[in-house]
Amino acid sequence: MHNTPAIPRLSSSTVPTSISPVLRREPTIPWALGWLAIGLTGWGCGTAKVHSADFRPVTTRAVGANRVSDRPDYARLLSETARTNGWTAIESVDWLDVGVQSRFRYEIRENDYRTPALLSDDALFTQTLVYLGVHDVLDPLRVAGEFMDSRRMLSDRVSVPNEENYREVLQAHVDLHFEDVTPGQPLTAMVGRMTFDAVDRRLIARNRFRNVINAFDGFRVRWGEDKKPWELDAFVVRPVERSVEYFDESYNSSWLYGVTGYYRAASPGIELEPYWLLLDQNARQGIPLERYLNTFGLHAFGRWDDDHWDYDVSLAGQVGETRGLPQRAWAAHAETGYSWKVPWKPRLALWINYATGDQDPTDDTQQRFDPLFGATFAFYGYSGYFSWQNTINPSIRFSVQPTERLRAEAIFRANWLASDKDAWVRGLRIDPTGNSGSFVGQEIDLRLAYPVWRWMELELVYAHFFPGEFVAETGPDPGSDFIYLQTVLRF
């Protein structure tokens, strides 16, 4: 017997006209937390061997958690591209970064739980990115720009800005770059439009799967670089609102402040990434969700036993207000993996994602964790049905590389609601009584990736969602399939 599905607690009709003046005062506590993060990282920096030329910190093996801090990964020095292709005339151009990426992805969805009617559909998604960056030749002045064109075709669904964004400026920023402000550490100040990852990408991400990428307008300072023993990153930006028909804009109604630190001197055993973020978003037309959220936490990862074992841990706390209600929430990720040193490079990993949900929809507090501008695709399921909010999500992953190029993986995921009275947010289901249980279902993800040539890669993904008790008790509960075939071309 099915209960009547209800809409998650995000209705614009409940939006207040103002937020408590207590939380609207100057954010002295959040700023203190931010400077604490700087202090902790700076303390570690004092022990770092900043002059070590052979220092090579490891990266996390957690899926999707490695950050792109500045230049997109498809862009390279023009001189490197010239040498690879034998273009002798421009081999000396070592002051220009350039990249072009064109992606084509054909998707098939059966019983899409992100839609109230469980629609089935197929579509062709295209995304074109072009990047140019000028550096060194005009130092300390540097400039960078990136163009994006994202489209969806062969589909009858209504256009949405997460999937379509025509002829858009994704990045356009001017930088002041100073080498060796401290021994071996550069300082870069950026102003303009930019896109980047922060920490492990769970709260701020340059989207890799979604057809349209997050962008921000504002100011950012980086002290250090990715391969250095330490780095600090601070920013004051406005999130860019995406539009299908018009140029994207940012507004004074929404501000994001952040300080993140990266301590790598103890790699490979441990790397620490403390952070503090403040989102101050006022309600206005088109933005009904009013938020004043301080999010602070720590990401840590490393390897041991001659690189056989690895781990990745993330812990985040959140205080503030959402829709006029006091917010107290937290989230965590814990993972460990083992890699065999054999030709097929197998790795087995176990992890659990946790994020609090609202304990009582009728009280005057809010406990559902807000994932801000984070990525979801690889972290919580290829179906796109889950995110880092109101979830208990244990998973097991086995990956292997049977040939020099072919990579394969299989992931099994189970999903429960952290609070059975709160929503399965992306599935648009809720039972405020909690009588429908908490088990949402299971998902199996399979993926194959194969670089055909240096400039072309194929990827095939299949995901199947098995609905659980909660889904059966709150509405229709058929199984759901998601398949895509993707081609990425890089020039």
Token pair, residue 288, equals 């009904």
Share of the chain above pLDDT 90, in %: 77
The answer to whether the beta carbons of residues 299 and 275 sit under 8 Å apart is: yes
Which pair of tokens denotes residue 367?
């406990």
Asked whether the CA dihedral 73, 78, 79, 85 is positive or negative, the reply is positive
Given a cut of 60, is residue 48 above it in pLDDT? no
For residue 423, count other CB atoms closer than 10 A to its CB. Answer: 25
**Beta partners for residue 335, in sequence order:** 312, 351
- pLDDT at position 53 is 62
- CA-nearest of 89, 211, 148 to 486 is 211
Token match 């202090």: residue? 39
Q: How far apart are CA 381 and CA 465, in angstroms?
A: 9
Q: Is residue 140 part of a domain?
A: yes
Give the model's pLDDT for residue 450.
97
Q: What pLDDT band is residue 13 in, cutting at 50, 70 and 90?
A: very low
In a domain, 6, yes or no: no
CA 434/CA 469 separation, integer angstroms: 12
Burial class of residue 156 (count of CB atoms within 10 Å of its CB; 0-12, 13-18, 19+): exposed
Length of the chain in residues, anyone? 491
Burial of 209 (0-12, 13-18, 19+ CB in 10 A): middle
Domain-embedded: residue 7: no
Backbone angles phi, psi at 88, to 5 degrees: -65, -25
pLDDT reading at 290 higher than 70: yes
Name the residue with tokens 């917010």. 327
pLDDT at 89: 72
Mean pLDDT score, 249-256: 94
Distance separating alpha carbons of residues 254 and 282, to the nearest angstrom: 6
Q: For residue 459, what are the β-bridge partners?
A: 449, 486
| 187: DSSP letter | E
Report yes or no on 195 lying in a domain.
Answer: yes
Each residue's pLDDT tens digit, 63-111: 999 999 999 999 999 988 878 777 777 778 889 999 999 999 999 999 9
Q: Is the pLDDT of residue 125 over 90?
A: yes
Overall average pLDDT of the 418-444 stretch: 97
The CA distance from 44 to 186, in Å, is: 18
Q: What angle do CA 215, 448, 342 make, to 5 degrees?
A: 110
Mean pLDDT of 56-64: 95
187 with 210: CB under 8 angstroms? no
The total of structural domains in the chain comes to 1
Peptide bond into 140 cis (omega under 30): yes
CATH number at residue 468: 2.40.160.100
In a domain, 4, yes or no: no
486 closest CA partner among 212, 154, 63, 103? 103
The DSSP letter of residue 89 is G
Tokens of 94: 């070592």
Alpha carbon distance, N-terminus to C-terminus of the chain: 55
Report the DSSP pairing between strands 439-453 and 165-182.
unpaired
Rounded Cα–Cα distance for residues 144 and 220 (Å): 14
At 284 the three-state DSSP class reads: strand
Residue 368, classified by CB atoms within 10 Å of its CB into exposed (0-12), middle (13-18) or buried (19+), is: buried
Burial of 256 (0-12, 13-18, 19+ CB in 10 A): buried
Would you say the pTM of this structure is higher than 0.75?
Answer: yes
pLDDT-based confidence at residue 52 (cuts at 50, 70, 90):
low
What secondary structure does DSSP assign to 329-343, as a single string?
A: EEEEEEEEEEE--ST
Contact 145, 169 (CB under 8 A): yes
Higher pLDDT, 45 or 189: 189
Name residue 379's amino acid. F
Residue 27, φ and ψ in degrees, nearest 5: -80, 70
What's the rounded mean pLDDT across residues 356-368? 94
Residue 2 falls inside a structural domain: no
Q: Span 113-125, mean pLDDT?
A: 95
Contact 270, 302 (CB under 8 A): yes
User: Of 411, 396, 394, 489, nearest to 448 (Cα)?
Assistant: 411
Residue 139 domain flag: yes
Helix or strand run (H / E) with residue 444: strand 439-453
Residue from 357, 384, 390, 379 nearest 115 by CA: 384
Query: For a pLDDT cut of 70, what percent of the chain falls above it?
Result: 89
CA separation for the pair 350, 394 (Å, rounded) = 8
Q: Which domain holds residue 425?
A: 12-490
Q: Is 47 exposed, middle or buried (0-12, 13-18, 19+ CB in 10 A)?
A: exposed
Q: What letter represents residue 60's amino acid?
A: T
What mean pLDDT value characterizes the chain?
Answer: 89
